[in-house]
């Protein structure tokens, strides 16, 4: 669910409260019912863009935030917020209370006076306050004349027409001369020139109507007294609950007062700084005797290839921890590592951490191969709540333990002005490090039983925990990049971008900034009128002008200008994201690119890749292939091997739905898309055209992703009616698939969650929502998560097994990348046949399905050749 509007509103309100500390305050909202203005002039505000659905969804939360702050929230059916604000302002001013109308709306200038001011909060924290002289500065009129002025010149934002042909300049001149609209019409004969007089006469009734429309009603029947708007303290428990639900972690921290913040007691009796041999020996014995302990490393960098280890912290019981600095004069680094190495490498000695993939790589740099990994609190949190975006230690400690940790920036400062962790005072570093280890162990003791309760222990222990080692080794290995190839490609792409730029300027008939939506919009929809060529009447607009985003432009993709524009955007994006950027990411020590595989990001269970994201290189298209050619085997005489699951999600669908037709198709090794086309279009398989197969393919994959007729029509270029009839025909023939999807929605509504083949759970928050858009999205999640999530489970199981076997059988081959349903390896040419056999077997047998699992394997000198 988007929360940006709630967050923006909340932070703005908090800034206002902190800066001004008002005695009285109220938040006013419009009501959905029509007002007297709509009844008198039905076209009132008719040209306004409909509020986006994602904004509508956030309005109830804005109200909840206001109520949790114990601020009066006023809304009155049939009245606009402006009228309620105006009524309150006049009431308060009459009681000699100073009033500020917090708004950027120029309409309020008609209310400013000795005790009423307009308070405009601008970006960057700047505030503009308009008093009595405000209208004079803007238009050269008094506050009392604002409605007269607007009645003449109109107000486009509210669709108030004014008098046709009269703009701001003429309207201001008339009001200066006659003082008011009424006096203007009383002395209409004095108006010159005659054409202006005729316009005013012809539109007298309209001008008078417009004045009524723009005049704020200051006599709304509100009842109550201004004293009832007195500010009260926050309902802290309610606000805290809201912040947690909305994942406003930064606001959650500011909400907690010193009395409400639980901090760990890090006295030396509980947190121990190990700086001598006697204390170190006590730590070693405690670790050996411990059933399970947590560990954490303190380093100088997040880049494990560059990071210098500063120390290690351990916790064997709650509220206690040890920190061993590795640079202390009284305790040698060599002795520390020599004593800790057997403990950390003992597979029987159980240990864990928070984001242990990082710590494992740091220990590997120190010559220690971490074994006996029994927990990772980041993964525990993720499995319990995969929808959450926050699984870092600070957020988890606050959420589950009610403890606000020492923040990293408290030690090294904020971005742009940071010091190295090596420069932090040892006493501060010691408390910070011990707290990390302590919080990690406490969280594990709390979260581990929940994994058992929700039957997630098997997935956790057999798949996700072993994957830490797999992903860590892949990240450290990296992949070799042919920088010269990318440099050559950059020259070619730059030339093509220049050609497209010239072509677009020529078609537009002018030079313009192609990357500026503000300049591009008018060219597309006013000058070239691409909507007419596409037969589309309604043009999508945003607050700043015409919509020119990718989805919008694809609607008009038949237009040659749009075709060139989409190619230009694709090329510039690929150039900046990969072709120009990748060479700079080659690590100086390894001459390889090292991506990060994120285990706790996607709600479906799939891995993601970042810094750089190697999962987003387009698979289709010549340019994507050219970029893949730059990823090469890193050793002389080695090859790249790619192993890709064939149509795995459709095979999983066949298994889960137990659909006989789909199962038979895969058992007979038929082309599933051709078979589907033959069934739903009623033609023999050998008569299925490429077009029919593509439509069937879109439907097959559309079913997996919950595609409706509208999306199918857009993707295949057919009509909505055709798309609907195709989907109906599909479900008529694949009845078990339809039943399975309906059962998933039913189960989600009853249980509130959905599971994959290995029991991975995903909470479906909005499955019973009364909001149709949210409910529809929740149903899509409920139907596609078991399929996508099971595909994620499958490849993770394969990765764990392959990684283990490569080590056991002492292969030189290494697993390098995981990209969706594909695994990429590098190996000596002599090992390739054995590697291909091992990889195929483990991928195909990772999880037993009712249909055969097929893996396509390719080999080449680079990633592209291996496909």
What is the end-to-end Cα distance of the chain in Å, rounded? 38
Tens digit of each residue's pLDDT (9 = 90 or more) over 299-341: 999 999 999 999 999 999 999 999 999 988 888 999 999 999 9
Half-sphere exposure of residue 843: CA atoms within 13 angstroms, side-chain side: 25
- The dihedral of CA 772, 775, 776, 777: what is its sign? positive
The pLDDT of residue 266:
44
The pLDDT of residue 269:
46
- What percentage of the chain's residues is helix, strand, coil (to nearest 5)? 55, 10, 35
Under the banding of pLDDT at 50, 70 and 90, the label for residue 534 is: low
Task: Find out whether the peptide bond into 134 is cis, omega within 30 degrees of 0.
Answer: no
Which residues are within 8 A (CB) of 240 and not within 5 positions of it... i.e. 6 or more apart?
252, 255, 256
Q: Is 325 helix (H, G, I), strand (E, B) or coil?
A: strand
pLDDT at 3 over 80: yes
User: Which is it for strands 321-325 and 309-315: parallel, antiparallel or unpaired?
Assistant: antiparallel
**How far apart, in whole angstroms, are the C-alpha atoms of residue 373 and residue 466?**
8
Tens digit of each residue's pLDDT (9 = 90 or more) over 655-712: 999 999 999 999 999 999 999 889 888 889 889 999 889 888 888 888 777 777 877 7
Strand partners, 230: 24
**How far apart, in whole angstroms, are the C-alpha atoms of residue 307 and residue 324?**
17
Count of other CB atoms within 10 angstroms of residue 415: 7
b/e 813-843 (16+ beta carbons within 10 angstroms → b)? bbbbbbbebbbbbbbbeebbeebbebbbebb
Give CA separation, 860 vs 130, 178, 507, in Å: 70, 85, 43
**How far apart, in whole angstroms, are the C-alpha atoms of residue 795 and residue 297?**
30
CB 595, CB 617: distance < 8 Å:
no
What value, to the nearest 5°, has the Cα angle with vertex 183 and ends 182 and 189? 115
Half-sphere exposure of residue 396: CA atoms within 13 angstroms, side-chain side: 26
CB 564, CB 553: distance < 8 Å:
no
**How far apart, in whole angstroms, are the C-alpha atoms of residue 757 and residue 659?**
17
- The dihedral of CA 265, 268, 274, 280: what is its sign? negative
CB 314, CB 284: distance < 8 Å:
no
pLDDT at 423 over 50: yes
pLDDT at 264 over 70: no
Which residues are within 8 A (CB) of 729 and not within 5 positions of it... i.e. 6 or more apart?
680, 681
Tens digit of each residue's pLDDT (9 = 90 or more) over 752-779: 999 999 999 999 988 888 777 788 889 9
b/e 201-227 (16+ beta carbons within 10 angstroms → b)? eebeebbebbbebbbbbbebeeeeebe
User: Which is it for strands 292-299 and 350-353: parallel, antiparallel or unpaired?
Assistant: parallel
Q: What is the pTM of this model?
A: 0.77
Instruction: Quote the radius of gyration of the chain (alpha carbons, Å).
Output: 33
Strand partners, 117: 100
Count of other CB atoms within 10 angstroms of residue 144: 12
- Judged on CB neighbours under 10 Å (0-12, 13-18, 19+), 793 is buried
pLDDT at 539 over 80: no
The pLDDT of residue 268:
43
- Judged on CB neighbours under 10 Å (0-12, 13-18, 19+), 200 is buried
What is the longest distance spanned by two Cα atoms in the chain? 105
Which residues are within 8 A (CB) of 538 and not within 5 positions of it... i.e. 6 or more apart?
none
**How far apart, in whole angstroms, are the C-alpha atoms of residue 719 and residue 709?**
9
Counting DSSP H helices and E strands in the chain, the numbers are 37, 24
The pLDDT of residue 467:
98
Count of other CB atoms within 10 angstroms of residue 373: 20
Under the banding of pLDDT at 50, 70 and 90, the label for residue 821 is: very high
Share of the chain above pLDDT 70, in %: 97
CB 600, CB 396: distance < 8 Å:
no
Q: Which of 78-87, 596-605, 707-716, 791-800 has the lowest average pLDDT?
A: 707-716
The pLDDT of residue 260:
41
Kindly state the DSSP code that residue 640 receives in the 8-state scheme. Answer: E
Rounded to the nearest 10 degrees, what angle do helices 146-153 and 204-214 cross at? Answer: 130
What domains does the chain contain, in order, with CATH numbers? 4-229 (3.40.50.1010), 271-454 (3.30.420.10), 481-593 (1.20.1060.10), 649-789 (1.10.150.20)
Rounded to the nearest 10 degrees, what angle do helices 720-733 and 690-704 cross at? Answer: 70
CB 294, CB 356: distance < 8 Å:
no
Closest CA to 113 of 143, 86, 81: 143
Strand partners, 324: 312
The pLDDT of residue 256:
54
CB 108, CB 120: distance < 8 Å:
no
CB 184, CB 174: distance < 8 Å:
yes
CB 778, CB 764: distance < 8 Å:
yes
Mean pLDDT of the chain: 90
Under the banding of pLDDT at 50, 70 and 90, the label for residue 93 is: very high
User: Which is it for strands 127-130 and 116-121: parallel, antiparallel or unpaired?
Assistant: antiparallel
b/e 289-314 (16+ beta carbons within 10 angstroms → b)? ebebbbbbbbbeeeebbebebbbbbb
pLDDT at 632 over 60: yes
The pLDDT of residue 382:
97
CB 598, CB 610: distance < 8 Å:
yes
Kindly state the DSSP code that residue 617 receives in the 8-state scheme. Answer: S
Task: Find out whether the peptide bond into 193 is cis, omega within 30 degrees of 0.
Answer: yes
pLDDT at 558 over 90: no
The pLDDT of residue 660:
93
What value, to the nearest 5°, has the Cα angle with vertex 647 and ends 468 and 798? 25
């Amino acid at each position: 669910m988007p929360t940006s509007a709630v967050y923006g509103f909340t932070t703005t309100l908090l800034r206002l409260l902190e800066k001004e500390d008002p005695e009285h305050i109220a938040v006013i909202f419009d009501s959905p019912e029509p007002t007297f203005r709509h009844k008198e002039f039905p076209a009132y505000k008719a040209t306004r863009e409909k509020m986006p659905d994602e904004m509508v969804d956030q309005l109830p939360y804005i109200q909840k935030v206001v109520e949790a702050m114990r601020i009066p929230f006023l809304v009155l059916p049939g009245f606009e917020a402006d009228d309620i604000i105006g009524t309150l302002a006049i009431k308060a001013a009459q009681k000699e209370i100073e009033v500020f109308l917090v708004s950027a709306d120029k309409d309020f200038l008609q209310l400013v006076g000795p005790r009423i001011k307009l308070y405009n909060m601008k970006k960057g924290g700047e505030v503009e306050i308009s008093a009595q002289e405000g209208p004079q500065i803007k238009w050269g009129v008094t506050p009392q004349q604002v409605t007269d002025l607007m009645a003449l010149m109109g107000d486009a934002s509210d669709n108030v027409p004014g008098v046709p042909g009269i703009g701001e300049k003429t309207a201001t001149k008339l009001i200066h001369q006659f003082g008011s609209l009424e006096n203007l019409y009383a002395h209409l004969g004095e108006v010159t020139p005659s054409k202006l007089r005729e316009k005013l006469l012809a539109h007298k009734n309209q001008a008078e109507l417009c004045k009524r429309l723009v005049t704020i009603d200051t006599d709304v029947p509100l009842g109550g007294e201004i004293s009832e708007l007195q500010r009260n303290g926050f309902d802290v428990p309610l606000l805290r609950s809201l912040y947690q639900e909305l994942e406003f972690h930064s606001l959650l921290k500011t909400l907690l007062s010193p009395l409400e913040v639980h901090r760990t007691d890090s006295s030396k009796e509980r947190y121990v700084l190990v700086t001598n041999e006697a204390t170190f020996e006590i730590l070693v014995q405690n670790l050996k005797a411990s059933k399970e302990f947590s560990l954490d490393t303190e380093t100088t960098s997040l880049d494990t290839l560059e990071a210098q280890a500063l120390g290690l912290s351990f916790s064997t019981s709650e509220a206690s921890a040890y920190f061993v600095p590795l640079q202390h004069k009284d305790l040698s680094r060599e002795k520390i590592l020599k004593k800790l190495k057997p403990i950390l490498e003992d597979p029987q000695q159980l240990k864990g951490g928070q984001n242990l993939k990082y710590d494992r790589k740091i220990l590997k740099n120190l010559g220690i191969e971490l074994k006996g990994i029994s927990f990772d609190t980041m993964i525990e949190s993720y499995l319990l709540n995969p929808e959450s975006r926050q699984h870092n230690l600070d957020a988890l400690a606050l959420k589950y333990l009610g403890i606000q940790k020492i923040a990293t920036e408290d030690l090294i400062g904020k971005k742009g002005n940071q010091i190295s962790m090596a420069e932090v005072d040892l006493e501060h570093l010691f408390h910070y490090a011990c707290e990390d280890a302590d919080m990690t162990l406490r969280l594990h003791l709390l979260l581990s039983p929940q994994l058992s309760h929700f039957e997630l222990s098997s997935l956790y222990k057999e798949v996700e925990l072993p994957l830490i080692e797999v992903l860590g080794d892949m990240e450290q290995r990296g992949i070799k990049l042919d920088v010269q190839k990318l440099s050559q490609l950059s020259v070619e792409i730059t030339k093509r971008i220049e050609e497209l730029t010239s072509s677009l300027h020529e078609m537009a008939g002018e030079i313009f900034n192609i990357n500026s939506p503000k300049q591009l919009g008018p060219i597309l929809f006013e000058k070239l009128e691409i909507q007419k060529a596409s037969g589309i009447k309604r043009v999508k607009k945003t607050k700043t002008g015409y919509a020119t985003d990718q989805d919008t432009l694809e609607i008009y993709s038949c237009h040659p200008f749009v075709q060139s524009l989409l190619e230009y955007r694709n090329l510039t994006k690929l150039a900046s994201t990969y072709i120009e950027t990748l060479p700079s990411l080659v690590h100086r020590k390894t001459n390889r690119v090292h991506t990060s595989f994120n285990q706790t990001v996607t709600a479906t269970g799939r891995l993601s890749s970042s810094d750089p994201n190697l999962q987003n290189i387009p698979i289709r298209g010549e340019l994507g292939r050219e970029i893949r050619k730059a990823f090469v085997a890193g050793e002389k005489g080695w090859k790249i091997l790619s192993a890709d699951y064939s149509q795995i999600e459709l095979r999983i669908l066949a298994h889960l739905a137990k659909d006989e037709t789909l199962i038979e198709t895969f058992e007979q090794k038929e082309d599933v898309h051709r078979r589907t086309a033959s069934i739903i279009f009623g033609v023999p398989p050998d008569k299925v055209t490429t077009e029919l197969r593509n439509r069937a393919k879109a439907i097959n994959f559309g079913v997996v992703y919950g595609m409706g007729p509208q999306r199918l029509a857009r993707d295949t270029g057919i009509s909505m009616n055709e798309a609907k009839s195709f989907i109906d025909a599909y479900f008529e023939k694949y009845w078990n698939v339809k039943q399975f999807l309906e059962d998933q929605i039913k189960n989600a509504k009853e249980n509130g969650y959905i599971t994959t083949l290995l029991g991975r759970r995903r909470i479906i928050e909005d499955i019973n929502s009364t909001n149709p858009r949210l409910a529809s999205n929740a149903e899509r999640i409920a139907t596609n998560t078991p399929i996508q999530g099971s595909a994620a489970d499958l490849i993770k199981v394969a990765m764990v097994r392959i990684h283990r076997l490569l080590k056991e059988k002492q292969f030189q081959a290494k697993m390098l990348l995981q990209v969706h349903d594909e695994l990429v390896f590098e190996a000596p040419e002599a090992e390739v046949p054995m590697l291909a056999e091992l990889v195929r077997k483990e991928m195909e047998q990772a999880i037993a399905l009712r249909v055969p699992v097929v893996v396509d394997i390719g080999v080449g000198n680079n990633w592209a050749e291996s496909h």
